A and B are shown apart, each in its own frame.
Chain A
Amino acid sequence: MNLLFKKARVVDPASGTDDLMDLLVEEGKIAAMGRGIPESRIRSALPQNEPSPPFLPGEGVIDCTGKVLVPGCIDMHCHLREPGFEYKETIESGSRAGAAGGYTSLACMANTHPVNDSRAVTEYILQKAREKACTRVFPIGAVTKELKGESLADIGELKDAGVVALSDDGKPMMNASLLRRAREYARSFGLTIISHCEDLQLTNQGVMNEGFMSTLLGLRGIPNAAEEVMVLRDIALAELTGASLHVAHISTAGSVRAIREAKSRGVKVTAETAPHYFSLTDEAVEGYDANTKMNPPLRTAKDVTAVIAGLKDGTLDAIATDHAPQTAIEKDVEFDQAAFGIIGLETALPLTLKLVNEGHLTLMEVVEKLTLQPARILGLDLGRFKVGMDADLTLIDLERPKTIEVSQFKSKSRNSPFQGWKVKGVAVLTVVAGRVVFHDPSVS
């Protein structure tokens, strides 16, 4: 299983590398990095007088001229729907979608059926991942039993079984006292709690952002404050407990401001946003397409600007997809009755690269938010290049134009608001532990 990446622009935020070089993968590990690694190092293993071999998945020389090689992308927040909702997505299909989007690791949320609140479910997910997934899969365990927010899940047992973090994502923990205890308890296991910040009373059955668009469309609004009061509450709890806090899917200017302020005071808080929160506004809801319905909702241009600024100054550490597969059964209904959520694994990278193309962030900055930062927050030794480490990597063609076409997705679901979008910059090769799990036909 040997690969030689020639003349790649290697971007590795951990070491600050942004340089043209070669990278050799042997036996699934990074064996060498540097200029002028001779092709003989892998060709010697091939029969002598055969013509130069075409691209062989798993063994070959890959000319990376004009392409960028980065540590494999890590999605710290997705929903793989298995067990329980296999008609929407499975660990297998979700990982194939991830690989096609340039992801080598996926951290999947606990809102499966049954909920991942016990060793049995965690082990089931890991077992399925070993058998079926082409990427790494890291389960996130529930904070409370059945995500009900009433009593703690067996957190020690979950840790033992292999969860990398805890979250009741999809449902906010309205009971602040229980959340405080959960933080304190989880801290002793080194597990970060990922908060879905939403005050349900303020949401009050809202289905889109509260603002001019909800007024025009006559849809119930979710005010920015529904997110912000909980972000502020959770920051206060982080200070109280000393436990680190990670806030999921930040969507509002006020949340960015609150986290920036907390970080400046040294509070142990990290945060992520998702590509749709810097790519779309609530104006996309006009027309009542349920593929523009997610939670938190698409906000206004002012919020988009603040989210991008938060990414730029490091307030927002990571970009996650919040990949939430839903089928036509959930989506082809009245807007207010449609399920929340959109898929993102196969669109996140190009949408994020748009930030680079438009001059908001540097390539180094976005790569860090897709690789090193999620690894750091989840405590995974991934997301960087180092000789001897497992070879997880993503080859990106920054110049490749692409029209997003949901019918081509590897995901089982099609619920994307980005159908037909013209983007530039896509993953063309994805390698997990030295194994090619996705490659574009153009790569040879």
Chain B
Amino acid sequence: MGNDLDRAASRPISDKPSLRLAGKDLLGIQKMDVSEIELILDTAESFKEVSTREIKKVPTLRGKTVINLFFEPSTRTRTSFEIAAKRLSADTINISTSSSSVTKGETLIDTAKNLEAMNPDCIVIRHSSSGAPHLLARLMHVPIINAGDGAHEHPTQALLDIFTVREKKGKLAGLKLAIVGDILHSRVARSNIHGFIKMGAEVHLAGPRTMMPAEVERMGIHWHTSLAEVIPESDVIMMLRIQLERQGGGFFPTLREYSRLFGLNLEVLKAAKPDVLIMHPGPMNRGVEISPEVADGPYSVILDQVTNGVAVRMALLYLLVGGEREADRSSL
């Protein structure tokens, strides 16, 4: 069994022997090459099938240890990483702490160095501070995967979103993606802007002006302050979660008004293309940024995103932790 599966998993590598990820870590989409993104997507395609088997496991990362170090609450991403690692036969450890390391009395660096001393093969980190994974990557030898840092990046989310669109549309170049909502505080938006633009798509943003980050147009996007403006042209509409606590920050008056102006419902969607895809990185506020009819409707690929997340993360773990890289690392 193992041999057969190993061969399947390694196919993309042997097809394109010159391709591999440039760094030891995955910190963000911004610095990635198109070829790296394509390598991950192609590798994910070959791993997707594993999750449909009766025995959903390959021995690729047998004997490896992956630590999920989560300083922010997460269900979807943490579970997805854990399942991805387990389906590759890696041992997984989950460390979740709602408090920041500083309030706990141990620094992030100390926490991470203690974990590194136990010889893990990869640390997946989520942290509320932008740049926290970069701090670790700079100081540690073990590969670091950014599972979301502050408002900076959430690269694996973007990769699974790109994977999902490519799978559904058969292409990325020339597509129009609209990202709707709180761009200012969204790491998902930033990673997707970088990623979709790299892959040749056109990215439009819609949301209240208060939630557009400064000089965001310099990222190569077009921005709009009306949802209606972006609906008709879009091939893909990605709704962002509106964080309920933003209501008090002067970003918008009330959730009611936000929902009226930027909520996606069947009425608004009438103007959309017939083959539009609706995405949401979750967790959703049903009835606020997206109505239940849209979330559960025929255009929605929200659950496909979640399914694909496992395959994309398997691919990434394989590429960063798997055998091919082992030789590279030991030569350092």
Q: Tell me the A residues contacting B by CB distance below 8 Å.
A: 210-212, 214-219, 221, 223, 287-288, 332-337
| Binding stretch for chain A, among B88-96, B214-222, B289-297, B304-312 | B214-222
Nearest Cβ in chain B — how far from A281, in angstroms?
Answer: 14
Query: 4 extra interchain contacts, Cβ-Cβ under 8 A, other than A217-B152, A221-B214, A333-B102?
Result: A219-B150, A219-B151, A334-B100, A335-B131
Would A212 and B109 be within 8 Å (CB), given that A218-B152, A218-B153 are in contact?
Answer: no
Collect the chain B residues with CB atoms within 8 Å of residue A288's CB: 130-131, 134-135
Collect the chain B residues with CB atoms within 8 Å of residue A218's CB: 130, 149-153, 187, 190
* Per-residue interface assignment for chain B, residues 21 to 50, with 1 indicating a CB less than 8 Å from any chain A CB and 0 otherwise: 000000000100000000000000000000
Collect the chain B residues with CB atoms within 8 Å of residue A221's CB: 213-214
User: Are A219's CB and B134's CB within 8 A?
Assistant: no
User: Are A335's CB and B130's CB within 8 A?
Assistant: yes
Q: Tell me the B residues contacting A by CB distance below 8 Å.
A: 30, 100, 102, 107-109, 127, 129-132, 134-135, 149-153, 187, 190, 213-216, 218-219
Q: Which residue of chain B has the shortest Cβ distance to A288 in the bound complex?
A: B131
The answer for the CA separation of A218 and B131 in the assembled complex, in Å, is 9
Nearest Cβ in chain A — how far from B113, in angstroms?
Answer: 11
Would A210 and B214 be within 8 Å (CB), given that A287-B134, A336-B129, A336-B130 are in contact?
Answer: yes
Nearest Cβ in chain B — how far from A342, in angstroms?
Answer: 17
Closest 3 CB pairs of A and B: A288-B131, A218-B152, A334-B129
Q: Which residue of chain A has the shortest Cβ distance to B151 in the bound complex?
A: A218
User: Quick one: which of A212, A287, A332, A335 contacts B214, CB cutoff 8 A?
Assistant: A212
Collect the chain A residues with CB atoms within 8 Å of residue B107's CB: 332-333
Collect the chain B residues with CB atoms within 8 Å of residue A215's CB: 190, 213-216, 218-219
Interface pairs (9), CB distance under 8 Å: A211-B215, A216-B30, A218-B130, A218-B149, A218-B150, A221-B214, A332-B109, A334-B100, A337-B102
Collect the chain A residues with CB atoms within 8 Å of residue B149's CB: 218
Collect the chain B residues with CB atoms within 8 Å of residue A334's CB: 100, 102, 108, 127, 129, 131-132, 135
User: Are B129's CB and A214's CB within 8 A?
Assistant: no
User: Are A217's CB and B131's CB within 8 A?
Assistant: yes
Collect the chain A residues with CB atoms within 8 Å of residue B108's CB: 333-334
The answer for the CA separation of A287 and B31 in the assembled complex, in Å, is 12
Nearest Cβ in chain B — how far from A161, in angstroms?
Answer: 37
Which residue, of B30, B187, B190, B213, has the highest number of chain A Cβ atoms within 10 A? B213
Which residue, of A211, A215, A218, has the highest number of chain B Cβ atoms within 10 A? A218
Q: Which residue of chain A has the shortest Cβ distance to B184 in the bound complex?
A: A215
Q: Which residue of chain B has the shortest Cβ distance to A214 in the bound complex?
A: B214
Nearest Cβ in chain A — how far from B290, in angstroms?
Answer: 24
Nearest Cβ in chain B — how far from A442, in angstroms?
Answer: 36
Collect the chain A residues with CB atoms within 8 Å of residue B218's CB: 212, 215
Collect the chain B residues with CB atoms within 8 Å of residue A332's CB: 107, 109, 135
User: Are A333's CB and B109's CB within 8 A?
Assistant: yes
Nearest Cβ in chain B — how far from A329, in angstroms?
Answer: 8
The answer for the CA separation of A161 and B187 in the assembled complex, in Å, is 53
The answer for the CA separation of A219 and B216 in the assembled complex, in Å, is 13
The answer for the CA separation of A219 and B131 in the assembled complex, in Å, is 9
Nearest Cβ in chain B — how far from A49, in angstroms?
Answer: 62
Nearest Cβ in chain A — how far from B110, in angstroms?
Answer: 10
Collect the chain B residues with CB atoms within 8 Å of residue A333's CB: 102, 107-109, 135
Nearest Cβ in chain B — how far from A50, in angstroms?
Answer: 56
The answer for the CA separation of A219 and B130 in the assembled complex, in Å, is 6
Collect the chain B residues with CB atoms within 8 Å of residue A210's CB: 214
The answer for the CA separation of A332 and B102 in the assembled complex, in Å, is 11
Collect the chain A residues with CB atoms within 8 Å of residue B187's CB: 218
The answer for the CA separation of A334 and B129 in the assembled complex, in Å, is 6
User: Are B129's CB and A337's CB within 8 A?
Assistant: yes
User: Are A214's CB and B150's CB within 8 A?
Assistant: no
Which residue, of A210, A216, A223, A336, has the highest number of chain B Cβ atoms within 10 A? A216
Q: Which residue of chain A has the shortest Cβ distance to B130 in the bound complex?
A: A218
Collect the chain B residues with CB atoms within 8 Å of residue A214's CB: 213-214
Q: Which residue of chain A has the shortest Cβ distance to B150 in the bound complex?
A: A218
Q: Which residue of chain B has the shortest Cβ distance to A219 in the bound complex?
A: B130
The answer for the CA separation of A231 and B60 in the assembled complex, in Å, is 62
Q: Which residue of chain A has the shortest Cβ distance to B215 in the bound complex?
A: A212
Would A336 and B213 be within 8 Å (CB), given that A216-B30, A288-B134 are in contact?
Answer: no
The answer for the CA separation of A333 and B149 in the assembled complex, in Å, is 14
The answer for the CA separation of A215 and B150 in the assembled complex, in Å, is 12
The answer for the CA separation of A216 and B108 in the assembled complex, in Å, is 23
Nearest Cβ in chain B — how far from A191, in angstroms?
Answer: 38
The answer for the CA separation of A212 and B219 in the assembled complex, in Å, is 8
The answer for the CA separation of A186 and B134 in the assembled complex, in Å, is 48
Collect the chain A residues with CB atoms within 8 Å of residue B152's CB: 217-219
Q: Which residue of chain A has the shortest Cβ distance to B30 in the bound complex?
A: A216
Collect the chain A residues with CB atoms within 8 Å of residue B190's CB: 215-216, 218
The answer for the CA separation of A132 and B213 in the assembled complex, in Å, is 50
The answer for the CA separation of A221 and B213 in the assembled complex, in Å, is 9
Would A337 and B213 be within 8 Å (CB), given that A212-B218, A219-B131, A288-B135 are in contact?
Answer: no
Nearest Cβ in chain B — how far from A164, in angstroms?
Answer: 37
The answer for the CA separation of A212 and B190 in the assembled complex, in Å, is 12
User: Are B100's CB and A337's CB within 8 A?
Assistant: yes
Nearest Cβ in chain A — how far from B282, in angstroms?
Answer: 19
Which residue, of A211, A219, A333, has the highest number of chain B Cβ atoms within 10 A? A333
The answer for the CA separation of A334 and B150 in the assembled complex, in Å, is 11
User: Quick one: which of A211, A212, A287, A335 contacts B129, CB cutoff 8 A?
Assistant: A335
Nearest Cβ in chain B — how far from A435, in angstroms?
Answer: 43
Collect the chain A residues with CB atoms within 8 Å of residue B150's CB: 218-219, 336
Q: Which residue of chain B has the shortest Cβ distance to A220 in the bound complex?
A: B151
The answer for the CA separation of A66 and B129 in the assembled complex, in Å, is 51
Nearest Cβ in chain A — how far from B32, in angstroms?
Answer: 14
The answer for the CA separation of A192 and B139 in the assembled complex, in Å, is 46
Nearest Cβ in chain B — how far from A326, in angstroms?
Answer: 14
Nearest Cβ in chain A — how far from B245, in angstroms?
Answer: 14
Nearest Cβ in chain B — how far from A152, in angstroms?
Answer: 33
Collect the chain A residues with CB atoms within 8 Å of residue B129's CB: 334-337
The answer for the CA separation of A337 and B107 in the assembled complex, in Å, is 11
Nearest Cβ in chain A — how far from B137, in angstroms?
Answer: 10
The answer for the CA separation of A219 and B214 in the assembled complex, in Å, is 11
The answer for the CA separation of A288 and B135 in the assembled complex, in Å, is 7
Nearest Cβ in chain B — how far from A335, in angstroms?
Answer: 5
The answer for the CA separation of A218 and B149 in the assembled complex, in Å, is 9
Q: Which residue of chain B has the shortest Cβ distance to A207 in the bound complex?
A: B130
Collect the chain A residues with CB atoms within 8 Å of residue B131's CB: 217, 219, 288, 334-336
Nearest Cβ in chain B — how far from A220, in angstroms?
Answer: 8
User: Are B135's CB and A211's CB within 8 A?
Assistant: no
The answer for the CA separation of A441 and B171 in the assembled complex, in Å, is 67
The answer for the CA separation of A334 and B109 in the assembled complex, in Å, is 9
Q: Which residue of chain A has the shortest Cβ distance to B183 in the bound complex?
A: A215
Nearest Cβ in chain B — how far from A136, in angstroms?
Answer: 38
